[in-house]
Structure 1
Amino acid sequence: MTEVQYISIGGRSDYLVGLKDLVRGLSKVNLWWAFAVDEVQQRYRRSKLGLAWIVVSYVIFVAAISIFFGGFSVKGVSDFTAHVAVNYAFFAFLIATVTDGCAVFRSNKTWVGSMPLPHSIYVLKSVARALFVLGINMAVGIFVLLATGHLRTSVSWLAVPAFFVVLFNSLLIQTYLGYLTARFRDVEHLMVSLTRVLFFMTPILWVRAEQPVGSLRRTLADLNPFTHAMEIFSAPMLGHMPDPSSWQVMGILTGVNILLMMGASYLAHRRLPYWL
């Protein structure tokens, strides 16, 4: 079956077009990985430090936040530094999922309109680019964990399944946000505004466990999906068992995101080139 036949196929199988497209995109790993690496290299190509700027900027951020906000936490500066080093790296990846997802098809409109490639190629490229930055930032985070004695292998392995759950959700979210924004451009501006607020609603500059149950800050954090995505990943990295309720929330969110991705793909897959 050719690419064009696949896009134009009708009938009941169209309800699975999003999942089929994702599977076909995953099989072309050499293509989307090469695209992602090239985009990262292009961003730092004429810089003297190159990719080292990612490390430098992250170290400066973690150090500054720890110095200025560490004194407000009952954890102490050492524990707070580890908290920031892990959580902000993962938060930046989550933010990239939303903001990059809004532009994932629009920024590749020439390719979408001229090449019969699976749409998931562009999503996978975008997520891979964000993963590259996350990997570099987490290297700094792991160094901080080792230096502060927080990395405990007895529970740290729990971060692995959490990572793959969040990664899968990132693919789903970027897909349906990409379709939605291609049709309604205002969605991108809305998401940018929301992500600015999420930075303060997510426990990065403050610690969720230190907030009284029922307080406004704790309630907003509990209602924030980013909080639960970070909890299942960062808690094991920091040597703690993740909150079981966060796993429950992520399970529900995964189911919802699958349905949203399938619905958006069913409605928008064939129309995407015309919307761009």
Structure 2
Amino acid sequence: MTRVDPSNAPASQSTTFSAAWKDLSRGFKQHELWLQLGWQDIKQRYRRSVLGPLWITIATGVMALALGLLYSLLFRISLSEFLPHVTVGLIMWGFISGAIKEGSDIFIDNEGLIKQLPSALSVHVYRLVWRQTLFLLHNMVIWVILMLIFPRPLGWDILLAVPALLLLIVNGVWVAMFFGIVATRYRDVAPLLEALVQLLFYVTPIVWTTSTLRSAGPEMQTRARIVELNPLYHYMEVVRAPLIGAPLPMYHWYVVLGCTVAGLILAMLAMKQWRYRVSYWV
């Protein structure tokens, strides 16, 4: 079996940031490959299905409607205010959870291609992120429908959703790369991440709001501040707030940018140290 390293250099010479960056850039240049593979994944998943990827949109829409109705009654929040909050949150969560859970298995699932296809390791990561991006964009149809049903004053701030989504995609790359490498080496990481993602869903303001906590009294205000320790809360806000016409304090951007830089450095360190070993671990 041959290992997929873009160079023929010995392993000892591959543990450099230059080699890691070369893998990322080479993989990105092979966009025709991962764009086609990602699109093929979707076609294969919904082969012989009448509605195809619409099933994901329908499932997301039904869940958003059910949770929105339930929690709007429990929290006594207007449905026109709460349903867009829940819907956009679920759409973003689909991308985030997919990048984490599927990212942890990305190299294991592509064992055959890694050992036989002479491509950069990052091709498989770009393929995953591209596939999740297609699902996200497909689900945005639900947001469009909601904005038609519950019109809101969306000003120029809505354009902030574009760089926010780009940041989300960049984070998807480093998340899939880092956890993919670690989970390939330590197979217990994948089930651990699956349980962690489930827990994070409940502690991230998706089906509830921080404003509800703040209005419940001084003790809940303290808990609302604790929620801000969760980085996923800030990722949600930078995308969701522009899309639903909510105010967006600048500190959310600072946290997201800081986490993005830290995550990219972490992924580069993992690639520098273990990238060339992945083909042996799978």
TM-score range, shorter chain: over 0.9
2-structure distance, mates of 1:151, 1:142: 14
Bigger mean CA deviation after superposition, 37-46 or 204-213: 204-213
Q: Runs ≥4 in structure 1, deviation > 3 angstroms?
A: 6-13, 213-217
Distance 2:271 2:6 in 1: 16
What residue is the counterpart of 2:18 in the other structure? 16
- In structure 2, what is the Cα distance between the partners aligned to 1:233 and 1:204? 12
Deviation at 1:158, TM superposition (A): 0.7
- In the other structure, the counterpart of 1:238 is 244
Alignment check: 8 A CA contact 1:172 1:257 kept: yes
Q: 1:48, CA displacement in angstroms?
A: 2.5
**Alignment deviations for residues 151-181 of structure 1 (CA, whole Å, 9 cap, x no partner):** 6132100111111111111101111111101
CA–CA distance in 2 between the matches of 1:255 and 1:136? 28
Residue in structure 1 matching 2:167, options 165, 169, 188:
165
Partner of residue 50, structure 1: 52
TM-score by length of 1: 0.93
Gaps of 5+ in 1: none
**Equivalent position to 1:70, from 69, 72, 80:** 72
Structure-2 change in CA distance of 1:77 and 1:29 (3 Å): same
Amino-acid identity (%): 27
> Compared with structure 1, are the counterparts of its residues 112 and 270 closer, same or farther at alpha carbon in structure 2 (3 Å cutoff)?
same
TM-score (norm 2): 0.91
What amino acid is the match of 1:171? Answer: V
Contact 2:11 2:276 in 1 (8 A): no
Q: CA deviation at 1:246?
A: 1.4
Query: Structure 2 vs 1, CA of residues 7 and 211 (structure 1 numbering), >3 Å: closer, same or farther?
Result: farther
Determine the C-alpha separation between the residues in 2 that align with 1:240 and 1:8: 53
Q: Which residue of 1 aligns with 2:279?
A: 273
Partner of 1:223: 229
Q: Contact conserved, 1:113 with 1:273, CA < 8 A, in 2?
A: yes
Select the residue among 138, 141, 148 that pairs with 2:140.
Answer: 138
Matches of residues 1-276 of structure 1 in structure 2 within 5 Å?
Answer: 4-5=6-7, 8=10, 11=13, 14-150=16-152, 152-212=154-214, 215=221, 217-276=223-282
What is the DSSP-based 3-state SS (H/G/I as helix, E as strand, rest coil) of the residue aligned with 1:241? coil
State the shift of 1:220 in Å: 4.4
Unaligned runs of 5+ in 2: none
- Give the number of aligned pairs: 275
Q: CA deviation at 1:232?
A: 0.6
Q: From the superposition, tell whether residues 220 and 145 of structure 1 become closer, same or farther in structure 2 (CA, over 3 Å).
A: farther
